[in-house]
């Protein structure tokens, strides 16, 4: 089966802990979006009994590096296909975060209509992640992994956002240093043509 070309895809990008998942959860309460977090799909695959990818996913997540694109793209593509009868609009959270992923996904799955880029300082993201680490149970919510995730974001993922902005002209940047509700108001404004 293939992806229906009539669906709309929005990439939701930004550094670790900036609030991508939080804002996507608010959007799905108010609008009919399917929220697909690449990180959540990878964690689910990692924990699946008998998955041949468990080890490789676990290692990359712990090291804050990017899982090979073919694994993540296949998981996303399958999830879109499973949901495209019910949903017309998809929030793809935390993907693409490496150039090869961006190019292959847009060529072989579907081009995105819009990219929301959540931006705030590293200090704020760190504070949010350390707070979340008290309860999240995530294997990468520790200082060592968090530093590596920041490093990968700056070196590998920021160039993808620049590419989507300068070459594809589909990026809207949102200041995420504010409260959840203030940010959400800006998100709705940035997405008004799609919601
Ligand atoms: N919070 C949120 N907004 C707030 C606000 N305005 N004010 C105060 N607090 C706020 O939020 C983080 C915390 O902050 C929460 O406690 C929240 O309540 C609070 P959240 O919404 O969870 O932030 P989010 O941006 O979703 O952070 P997350 O940790 O999920 O981002 P990452 O990008 O680091 O994680 P992800 O799950 O996307 O990826 C994990 C790993 O998977 C990657 O490091 C990588 O190894 C792998 N991966 C790939 O290899 N390929 C991919 O394509 C995707 C992931
Ligand atoms: Mg998240």
pLDDT tens readout for residues 145-158: 999 999 999 999 99
pLDDT at 140 over 90: yes
* Ligand 1 midpoint to CA 123 (Å): 14
pLDDT at 1 over 90: no
Residues with CB under 5 A from ligand 2 (ion): 20-21
* Ligand 1 midpoint to CA 15 (Å): 7
For residue 130, the number of C-alpha atoms closer than 13 Å in the C-beta half-sphere is 9
Close Cβ partners of 25 (under 8 Å, ≥ 6 residues apart): 35
**Cross-strand bridge partners of residue 35:** 91
pLDDT value of position 35: 99
Residue 41: phi and psi, rounded to 5, are -65, -40
Q: What is the mean pLDDT of the chain?
A: 98
Residue nearest to atom 37 of ligand 1 (CA): 39
The residue-averaged pLDDT of 120-131 equals 98
* Ligand 1 midpoint to CA 1 (Å): 30
Binned at pLDDT 50, 70 and 90, residue 39 comes out as very high
């Amino acid at each position: 089966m293939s992806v229906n070309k009539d669906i709309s895809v929005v990439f939701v990008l930004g550094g670790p802990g900036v609030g991508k998942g939080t804002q996507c959860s608010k959007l799905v309460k108010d609008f009919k979006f399917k929220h697909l977090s690449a990180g959540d799909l990878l964690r689910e695959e990692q924990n699946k009994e008998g998955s041949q990818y468990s080890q490789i996913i676990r290692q990359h997540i712990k090291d804050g590096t990017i899982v090979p694109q073919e694994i993540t793209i296949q998981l996303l593509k399958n999830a879109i296909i499973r949901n495209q009868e019910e949903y017309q609009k998809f929030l793809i959270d935390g993907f693409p975060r490496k150039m090869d992923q961006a190019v292959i996904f847009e060529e072989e799955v579907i081009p995105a209509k819009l990219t929301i880029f959540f931006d705030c300082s590293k200090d704020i993201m760190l504070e949010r992640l350390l707070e979340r680490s008290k309860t999240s149970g995530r294997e990468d919510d520790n200082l060592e992994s968090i530093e590596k995730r920041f490093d990968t974001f700056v070196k590998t993922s920021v160039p993808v956002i620049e590419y989507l902005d300068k070459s594809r002209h589909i990026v809207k940047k949102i200041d995420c240093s504010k409260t959840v509700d203030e940010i959400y108001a800006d998100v709705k404004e940035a997405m008004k043509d799609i919601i």
